[in-house]
């Protein structure tokens, strides 16, 4: 596993200290959220994630769901929430011992975000729920609060996440290129070594062949001399 230092390429998107950040439940339960969370932690990104208690209860209830797929995603989200708490990245507002059944976070998000904007607070909200995005934008206009203080993204459109993905792809391509160069050099060295071994073998065989020829020639001369003496004696 490698760590991407995203701070080198994304500038102001690495500092969220002047913004409140809300992640909808569908973002926290997305399998890609873990990589985003780890990037925040590994790159020491200053971010202020707000979680209303009703959202915590919503995820708690989903964890108890009979649908194993939803239950698994909720348990994964809880693991992420705990890790974010351990690194002081998330604040769960109004958390207590009681869980609210049938908890539904959308109305609370709308209420809290509009109140934040009224209080001159910049807000980032990530959600995959298009209905919630429409309702939030409509109510912001209806309450005549400053829309410029609100940034709404899906996960894939979140600038930080997009940059994180781009950097990961660039890093992978760089590593693949380095590996290709290593394999190419290894192949060249292997070929060169094989050629050297072949040349050495050929020379030895040639030397052996020349020695055998000389030996045969020598034997022929000795035989001829012996035959000459046999006829002349």
- Asked whether the beta carbons of 172 and 144 are under 8 A apart, the reply is no
Tell me if 38 is assigned to some domain. yes
Number of domains observed in the structure of the chain: 2
Tell me if 5 is assigned to some domain. no
- How far apart CA 168 and CA 4 sit, in angstroms, is 7
Are 136 and 181 found together in one domain? no
Within 8 A by CB and 6+ apart from 184, the residues are none
Are 34 and 131 found together in one domain? yes
| Residue 78 confidence (pLDDT) | 95
Q: Which of 128, 156, 184 marks a domain boundary?
A: 156
| Residue 9 confidence (pLDDT) | 45
Tell me if 3 is assigned to some domain. no
| Residue 200 confidence (pLDDT) | 84
Query: What residues are paired with 23 via a beta bridge?
Result: 126
Tell me if 128 is assigned to some domain. yes
Are 152 and 163 found together in one domain? no
Tell me if 70 is assigned to some domain. yes
Are 140 and 78 found together in one domain? yes
| Residue 216 confidence (pLDDT) | 60
pTM: 0.70
- Asked whether the beta carbons of 29 and 129 are under 8 A apart, the reply is no
Domain with 65, as residue range(s), is: 13-156
Tell me if 124 is assigned to some domain. yes
Tell me if 130 is assigned to some domain. yes
- Report, as ranges of residue numbers, the positions in the chain whose pLDDT lies below 50: 1-12
41-71 per-position pLDDT tens digit: 999 998 999 999 999 999 999 998 889 999 9
Are 126 and 199 found together in one domain? no
Query: What residues are paired with 86 via a beta bridge?
Result: none
153-178 per-position pLDDT tens digit: 999 999 999 988 888 788 777 777 77
Are 174 and 76 found together in one domain? no
| Residue 180 confidence (pLDDT) | 75
- How far apart CA 159 and CA 103 sit, in angstroms, is 30
- Asked whether the beta carbons of 127 and 33 are under 8 A apart, the reply is no
Are 146 and 188 found together in one domain? no
Q: Are strands 150-153 and 49-52 parallel, antiparallel or unpaired?
A: unpaired
Q: Which of 156, 181, 206 marks a domain boundary?
A: 156
């Amino acid at each position: 596993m490698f760590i991407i230092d995203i701070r080198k390429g994304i500038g102001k998107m690495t500092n969220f200290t002047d913004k409140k950040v809300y992640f909808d439940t569908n973002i926290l339960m997305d399998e890609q959220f873990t990589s985003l969370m780890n990037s925040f932690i590994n790159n020491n990104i200053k971010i202020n994630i707000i979680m209303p208690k009703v959202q915590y209860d919503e995820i708690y209830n989903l964890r108890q769901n009979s649908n194993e797929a939803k239950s698994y995603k909720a348990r994964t989200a809880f693991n992420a929430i705990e890790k974010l708490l351990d690194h002081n990245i998330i604040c769960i507002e109004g958390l207590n011992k009681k869980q609210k059944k049938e908890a539904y976070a959308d109305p609370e998000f709308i209420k809290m975000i509009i109140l934040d904007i009224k209080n001159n607070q910049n807000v980032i909200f990530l959600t995959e729920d298009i209905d919630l995005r429409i309702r939030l934008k409509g109510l912001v206009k209806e309450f005549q609060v400053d829309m410029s203080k609100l940034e709404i993204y899906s996960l894939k459109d979140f600038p930080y996440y997009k940059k994180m993905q781009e950097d990961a792809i660039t890093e992978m391509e760089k590593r693949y290129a380095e590996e290709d160069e290593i394999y190419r050099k290894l192949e060249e060295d292997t070929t060169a070594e094989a050629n050297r071994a072949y040349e050495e073998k050929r020379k030895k065989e040639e030397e052996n062949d020349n020695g055998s020829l000389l030996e045969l020639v020598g034997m022929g001369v000795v035989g001829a001399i012996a035959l000459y003496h046999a006829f002349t004696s």
